Structure 1
Amino acid sequence: MDYRVIKENDLFLMTDRNGDIPEGDISGKGLYTKDTRFLSRMEIRINGQKPILLSSAADDNYISTIRLTNPHMEENGELILWRESVEIERTRFIYEGALYESIKLTSYYPKPIQFDFSVLLDTDFADMFVVRGFQYGELGSKTMERSAPRERVIGYLGADGVRRETKIKWNTQESKISESGELHFDVALGHQENIAIAFFIAPIIDGNEPLQHEPEEAMSKLRASYVDWNASSTSIQSNLPLFNKLYHRGVQDLRVLLTDLGYGAFPVAGLPWFSVPFGRDSLIAALQMLSLNPQVAKGTLLTMAAYQGQNEDEWRDEQPGKVMHEIRYGELASTNQVPFTPYYGTIDATPLFLLLAAEYYHWTGDADFIKALMPHLQAALTWVKEYGDADDDSFVEYYQKSSKGIANQGWKDSADSVVHRNGDYAEAPIALVEVQGYVYQALTRLAPIFRSLGHAEQADQMEQDASQLQARFERDFWMEDEQFYAIALDKDKKRVESVTSNAGHILMSGIASPERAKAVAERLVAPDLFGGYGIRTMSTDAAGYNPMSYHDGSVWPHDNSLCILGLSHLGFANEAITVIEGLLAAADKFEYNRLPELFCGYDNLLGAPVPYPVACSPQAWAAGTPLTFVQALLGLQPDALSRQITIRPSLLEGMNELKVEQLLIGSGTLSLRVTRGINGPEVEILSNLTGYELLIS
């Protein structure tokens, strides 16, 4: 990874490995909040020269530490500064809406030395869409720049009328400020003496300025929040170090991706480009996190409910009851030059919203919350029936209406992702295979809950609708020659007969017959789909296959995770283990043992997975993937209505013990240990405070 990124709540910083934001950088580095870049340049120099990198780390997500040193400096044969005389240690973190950076300069030269140390900071207030090169339009301009002792403020008035400012403060008196705004510090140090120059950089929107804290106090509170997060979440331990590291990395990455817009914590999609509420990604990540901390699902549901569609608006692909795709807060969105306020062009977020509500209830038994959410659930169900299935054929389909919207509105949203056997792209309206599974799962899981809450007649209708959907699905999506489900139906109700990973998602829904589910399970781990590091998005035999593509042959960990949950749910433990072990092998090759958003779909004969150049990392549903490993290996299925927890354990090869503590289920927690016995996995219950009965098979 050629960048370093840290985040806290709604503010994130992306720099190069040196900790700099170079002038003219085209990769989008900067300090961002609300889809605006508040710092576009941050470079340090020693005697005018760029320091040499020694080490660079951001493995804790919330803090980054970078060590550099000086190059050798001579002028006309005269020594200016011996190489590697000065250690430069940059430490930065984000707390309560501001960036804190300390630059510690330590001399290891045996005699006293003097040098010029300079810091150049600037901002362009660029909109995220402009930074990424996706959209241009009417924009505002810088309005002022003012300075005070050890302080500089740069202002901007947007085309949306919003005043944006960047305030920069530092603790050490500079020797001069150049015309370009570069801060110069005269530094004199003896052997092993040091000086620390501290910066406080605060984005200000319409006068709302973050409070400045003492750095030590801010760091202490930030660390404490991570301690609290870990203490309130499920913990695991096994005899496989890589498995443990991947799980703990996922837990920490998910914590840094949490944001609260006032409705409870929820995961944004990923860094650096999608640090925003994102319907599908946030909902799937929250689903993955149920075994870690179900309160995140609650915050996610409430956030999505707050932005649920109210009107018919073609510009935003909005309809009543529809759950949003993505919301943006930048200048272009605020002036309606892009439709992301929010944008609703997603076919799967609404059924996923319903599905997550059902699963949240089964993990928590929180009937009061479901009752409070009921108006939003009803609106979503109405959308599924009246707008999602506009032609009344039981299938939920998408069709783009917005002139600046997204054409393909499933999770594979690139233009070439839904392709026929002959290489032609499918035309909308399109009914995706996985979406029908989500709808079926939502209906069948919610119906008994609705019945228990006094909505018996509606529950009966939901089950009837689900039964009709299942019958038509089996008739229309199955490819007899492939013994697999098609990725979609096109506008003419013709099967789009590429073999893809999408069909793996339906295994967790129950929509497939047992015989066909078995065929799907076997195909998912066949060589054309499984290359050793995970399930590819598209079969190597398909006309559209491209291992370097975004959606047509790459490997997406979250995609695999939903397949894994389905395989486990239906008892295909060996297939689930095969996929888990493939992803573990991939994670072993990535920095920090972190699964990225995606990687290329080459098989494992190359010896390492091939990175996808612009994959987000960390990314929420990739971080949530190892959590599903634990749920799948436990074979864990809570049922709040029967107040029972089914456990059907399995273990990876070489895994002799898996200890899981503080699973938050029902009214308390469950802790257990699975060990390898003579006749298979054995379960020891360490404590059960859930109020649920355990059924172990």
Structure 2
Amino acid sequence: MDYRVLKENDLFILTDKDGNIPNKDRTEKGLYYQDTRFLSMYQLELEGIDLILLSSRSEQNYLGTVRLTNAETRSGNEIVLWRESLGVHRKRFIYNGVFYEKITFENYNNFPLTVRPKLRFGADYNHMFAVRGYLEGRRGVLQAPAVTNDGLILGYEGSDGISRQTVIQVEPSPKSASEQGTLSLEVHVRPESTASVNVVICPVIANQVPERVTFEQALDALEASYGEWRQASTKAFSDSELFNKVYERSLLDMRALLTDLGEGRFPVAGIPWYAVPFGRDSLIAAIQLLSVNPDIAKGTLKTLAKYQGREVNAWRDEQPGKILHELRFGEPANNHDIPHTPYYGTIDATPLFLVLAAEYYRWTGDIELMRELLSHLKAGISWINQYGDRDQDGFVEYCQESGKGIANQGWKDSADSIVHKNGELARAPIALAEVQGYVYDAKTKLADVMNDLEEHELAAQLRQEAAALKQAFAERFWLEEEQFVTVALDGDKNKVESVTSNPGHCLWSCLLTKEQEEKVVKRLLAPDMFSGYGIRTMSTTSTRYNPMSYHDGSIWPHDNSLIMLGMKQLGYAREAMEVVEALLEAASHFEYHRLPELFCGYDREEEPYPVDYPVACSPQAWAAGTVFVMLQTMLGIQPDVPRGLVRFSPSLPPSINRLKVTDISVGQGTLDVLLLKDEEGEVTVKMLKNETGLQVMI
């Protein structure tokens, strides 16, 4: 990973490994707030001294550290400063909408040093889409930097009538400041001692200035919030150091990805490019988090319900009851140059919203939230049956309407992801296999919720519709030649014959017949689909297979997580553990033991390590959530709080023999359990604590 990133709520900074935002025309690095780049340059230089990078870490996610030292400095033939006798330590974080950095100069000489740092700043106020080359919209006017007693104010008057500023404060106060955005300082460092410079950077929109506290106060508060996150979440510890590291990394990553827009915390999709509400990604990540912190599901449901579609609007691919795909902010959103206000071009977010609601109810028994969301749940069901199934053939399909929308509107949303055996791209409207599974799952599980809400007629309707869908799917989506499920039906109702991972999600949804599920499980673990590091998105035998592609042969951890969960709940425990083991092995090769958004699909026998995908988000929410699904799969936990039950069906992969899991939040209490594997490989569950009042069934 050639960058370093820090995020807290809706502010994040993306720098190079030196901690700088370089002054380059095409750099994507910057300080971003609400989709706008409030710093496009931030560079530390020392007058007369060249700096060398020693280390650069953001392992804790909320705290970044960079260590640099000096190259040898000469004046003619005389050595003025021995190499590596000056240390520069940059320590930074974000708290409450403010970026804080302490730059400490460490003098290892026996004489005093005067260092003259220069801090160079610039802000272009480009929107994220413009930075990435997706958009050329209307622009406002950049303001010349204004010099203050302790720093600078950079400014921009937007074409949307909103002023934006970057307020920069430095302590001790600069010796001088230029209207080109450079602050010059003079720092005296005693022999074998240290001296520091504090930098505080505040993005300001419409004169709403965030509250500033001291560096130490902000760091203490930030560390306390991470401690609270750990305390409120499930703890897992095994005899596998690798699993423990992956779990801890994912817990930190998911905390960093949480954002609150006023309805409770929910996960954004990923850093750096998708740090915004994302219907499908946020919903799947919240589903993955149910075994670790179900409260995040509540914030996710309430946030997405707030933005649920209300009208037919082709520009935004919106219809009543539809759940958003993506919500963007900033100048082009305010000017309606982009449809992401929100944009609704996703076929799967609405059924996944319903699935999350039903699953959250099973984990918590929170009937009050179900009552609060009832109108939203009904609207989602209506959208599926009316707008989702536009030709009333019983299947939900998508078709792009917005001129600036997305053509493929499932999770594989690249232009070449849905392709026929002969290499031709499928023509819309397209009915994806996994989407039919989400719809089936939603209707099946919501029937129980509706009964508990005294909506008995609707519950009966949902069960009937689910049964009809299962029968029709078995008949229309089966590929006899491949003995597998087709990825989709195209606009002419022809099967899209490529063999892909999409039908694996139907295992999780329990949509397949027993005969079909056995064949799908077997094929997913066959050499053409299983690389040894995970299940590929497309078979090596398919026409468009490419291990370096985004969706046609790569490996996505979240894709594997839903497949393994489906395998386990249908009784294919050995196969599920094989996928768990492969993903853990893959994670061991990535920085910080962090599973990325995706990686290339090369075979493990061909490459002794998983090959990076060049522009994968890292951290990314549903990649981070994969290890939580591993935990859920190993526990085989299936709560049904409204019925007073919680079931366990334990299994462990070959690399784990002992797994202790504590503070599993179910209903109104928590559970502690211990999984042990004996010499014969049998796994047992020992109940260490049950404060839920629920009946436990093994």
Percent identity, aligned pairs only? Answer: 52
Partner Cα distance (1:367, 1:188) in 2: 63
Partner Cα distance (2:241, 2:189) in 1: 44
SS at match of 2:116: strand
Please report how far the alpha carbon of residue 50 of structure 1 lies from its aligned counterpart in structure 2 after TM superposition.
Answer: 4.4
Please report how far the alpha carbon of residue 453 of structure 1 lies from its aligned counterpart in structure 2 after TM superposition.
Answer: 1.6
Please report how far the alpha carbon of residue 147 of structure 1 lies from its aligned counterpart in structure 2 after TM superposition.
Answer: 1.7
Kindly indicate whether the alpha-carbon contact (under 8 Å) linking 1:46 and 1:70 is maintained by their aligned counterparts in 2. no
Kindly indicate whether the alpha-carbon contact (under 8 Å) linking 1:489 and 1:495 is maintained by their aligned counterparts in 2. yes
Give 1:267's aligned residue: 267
Tell me, yes or no, if structure 1 residue 237 matches structure 2 residue 237: yes
Please report how far the alpha carbon of residue 621 of structure 1 lies from its aligned counterpart in structure 2 after TM superposition.
Answer: 0.2
Give 2:296's aligned residue: 296
Counterparts of 1:188-267 in structure 2, within 5 Å, are 188-267=188-267
Partner Cα distance (1:173, 1:213) in 2: 17
Give 1:646's aligned residue: 647
Give 1:686's aligned residue: 688
Please report how far the alpha carbon of residue 111 of structure 1 lies from its aligned counterpart in structure 2 after TM superposition.
Answer: 2.4
Please report how far the alpha carbon of residue 677 of structure 1 lies from its aligned counterpart in structure 2 after TM superposition.
Answer: 2.7
Give 1:177's aligned residue: 177
Counterparts of 1:352-367 in structure 2, within 5 Å, are 352-367=352-367
Partner Cα distance (1:123, 1:430) in 2: 43
SS at match of 1:401: coil
* Amino acid across the alignment from 2:116: D
Kindly indicate whether the alpha-carbon contact (under 8 Å) linking 2:146 and 2:179 is maintained by their aligned counterparts in 1. no
Partner Cα distance (1:549, 1:283) in 2: 25
Partner Cα distance (1:503, 1:373) in 2: 30
Partner Cα distance (2:11, 2:583) in 1: 30
Offset from partner CA, 1:500-558 (integer Å, 9 cap, x none)? 01010010111100111011111111110100110000000000100000000000000
Give 2:609's aligned residue: 608
Partner Cα distance (2:173, 2:217) in 1: 23
Please report how far the alpha carbon of residue 367 of structure 1 lies from its aligned counterpart in structure 2 after TM superposition.
Answer: 0.9
Tell me, yes or no, if structure 1 residue 664 matches structure 2 residue 681: no
Kindly indicate whether the alpha-carbon contact (under 8 Å) linking 1:449 and 1:641 is maintained by their aligned counterparts in 2. no
Partner Cα distance (2:179, 2:258) in 1: 40
Kindly indicate whether the alpha-carbon contact (under 8 Å) linking 1:537 and 1:554 is maintained by their aligned counterparts in 2. yes
Counterparts of 1:501-520 in structure 2, within 5 Å, are 501-520=501-520
Kindly indicate whether the alpha-carbon contact (under 8 Å) linking 2:167 and 2:202 is maintained by their aligned counterparts in 1. yes
* Amino acid across the alignment from 2:87: E
Give 1:101's aligned residue: 101
Tell me, yes or no, if structure 1 residue 306 matches structure 2 residue 306: yes
* Amino acid across the alignment from 1:671: D
| TM-score normalised by the chain length of structure 2 | 0.98
SS at match of 2:124: coil
Give 2:621's aligned residue: 620
Kindly indicate whether the alpha-carbon contact (under 8 Å) linking 2:147 and 2:179 is maintained by their aligned counterparts in 1. no
Please report how far the alpha carbon of residue 180 of structure 1 lies from its aligned counterpart in structure 2 after TM superposition.
Answer: 2.5
* Amino acid across the alignment from 1:608: Y
SS at match of 1:384: helix
Partner Cα distance (2:119, 2:143) in 1: 23
Please report how far the alpha carbon of residue 91 of structure 1 lies from its aligned counterpart in structure 2 after TM superposition.
Answer: 0.3
Tell me, yes or no, if structure 1 residue 472 matches structure 2 residue 472: yes
Partner Cα distance (1:670, 1:107) in 2: 52
Between 294-303 and 643-652, report the one with greater CA deviation: 643-652
Kindly indicate whether the alpha-carbon contact (under 8 Å) linking 2:188 and 2:195 is maintained by their aligned counterparts in 1. no
Offset from partner CA, 1:290-336 (integer Å, 9 cap, x none)? 00010100000000000000000000000000000000002111101
Give 1:119's aligned residue: 119
Please report how far the alpha carbon of residue 688 of structure 1 lies from its aligned counterpart in structure 2 after TM superposition.
Answer: 1.1
Counterparts of 1:588-607 in structure 2, within 5 Å, are 588-605=588-605, 606-607=607-608
Offset from partner CA, 1:458-496 (integer Å, 9 cap, x none)? 111111111111111011101111111000000000000
Give 2:635's aligned residue: 634
Partner Cα distance (2:145, 2:678) in 1: 71
Between 172-181 and 270-279, report the one with greater CA deviation: 172-181
Kindly indicate whether the alpha-carbon contact (under 8 Å) linking 1:5 and 1:13 is maintained by their aligned counterparts in 2. yes
Give 1:450's aligned residue: 450
Offset from partner CA, 1:234-283 (integer Å, 9 cap, x none)? 00111000011101111110000000000000000000000000000000
* Amino acid across the alignment from 1:575: E
* Amino acid across the alignment from 1:254: M
SS at match of 1:274: coil
Partner Cα distance (2:111, 2:675) in 1: 61
Partner Cα distance (2:25, 2:568) in 1: 46
Partner Cα distance (2:494, 2:99) in 1: 54
Partner Cα distance (1:654, 1:110) in 2: 53
Please report how far the alpha carbon of residue 285 of structure 1 lies from its aligned counterpart in structure 2 after TM superposition.
Answer: 0.1
| TM-score normalised by the chain length of structure 1 | 0.99
Please report how far the alpha carbon of residue 80 of structure 1 lies from its aligned counterpart in structure 2 after TM superposition.
Answer: 3.5
Partner Cα distance (1:642, 1:112) in 2: 73
Kindly indicate whether the alpha-carbon contact (under 8 Å) linking 2:246 and 2:587 is maintained by their aligned counterparts in 1. yes
Partner Cα distance (1:227, 1:113) in 2: 39
Give 1:493's aligned residue: 493
Residues 471, 48 of structure 1: CA spacing in aligned structure 2 closer, same or farther, 3 A cutoff? farther
Partner Cα distance (2:316, 2:568) in 1: 38
Partner Cα distance (1:687, 1:63) in 2: 35
Kindly indicate whether the alpha-carbon contact (under 8 Å) linking 1:44 and 1:50 is maintained by their aligned counterparts in 2. no
User: Which of 687, 694, 697 is the equivalent residue of 1:695?
Assistant: 697
Partner Cα distance (2:299, 2:113) in 1: 55
Counterparts of 1:276-355 in structure 2, within 5 Å, are 276-355=276-355
Please report how far the alpha carbon of residue 48 of structure 1 lies from its aligned counterpart in structure 2 after TM superposition.
Answer: 4.7
Cα RMSD of the aligned pairs, angstroms, is 1.1
Partner Cα distance (1:456, 1:406) in 2: 38
Between 312-321 and 44-53, report the one with greater CA deviation: 44-53
Between 68-77 and 573-582, report the one with greater CA deviation: 68-77
Partner Cα distance (2:544, 2:513) in 1: 28
Kindly indicate whether the alpha-carbon contact (under 8 Å) linking 2:267 and 2:285 is maintained by their aligned counterparts in 1. yes
Structure 1 residues without counterparts, runs of 5 or longer: none
Give 2:534's aligned residue: 534
SS at match of 1:481: coil
Between 521-530 and 185-194, report the one with greater CA deviation: 185-194
Between 272-281 and 140-149, report the one with greater CA deviation: 140-149
Please report how far the alpha carbon of residue 49 of structure 1 lies from its aligned counterpart in structure 2 after TM superposition.
Answer: 4.8
Give 2:371's aligned residue: 371
SS at match of 2:90: strand
Between 111-120 and 210-219, report the one with greater CA deviation: 111-120
SS at match of 1:463: helix
Between 450-459 and 529-538, report the one with greater CA deviation: 450-459
SS at match of 1:604: coil
Structure 2 residues without counterparts, runs of 5 or longer: none
Give 2:412's aligned residue: 412
* Amino acid across the alignment from 1:496: V
SS at match of 1:684: strand
Kindly indicate whether the alpha-carbon contact (under 8 Å) linking 2:38 and 2:165 is maintained by their aligned counterparts in 1. yes
Partner Cα distance (1:340, 1:232) in 2: 33
